[in-house]
Amino acid sequence: MRKEGELYVALCPEVDVASQGGSAEEAIANLREALELYFEDEDVEKPIQTEAPIVTIVRVRVHSPTGSLRMSSD
For the stretch 10-66, pLDDT in tens is 999 888 899 999 999 999 999 999 999 999 988 888 877 767 778 888 999 888 776
Burial of 31 (0-12, 13-18, 19+ CB in 10 A): buried
* Cα 32 versus chain centre, distance: 12
Q: Residue 68: what pLDDT?
A: 57
pTM of the model: 0.67
Q: Give phi and psi for 46, each to the nearest 5.
A: -80, 140
Residue 36 sits in which domain range? 2-72
Domain count, the chain: 1
- What pLDDT is stored for residue 22 in this prediction? 98
Q: What is residue 69's predicted lDDT score, i.e. its pLDDT?
A: 54
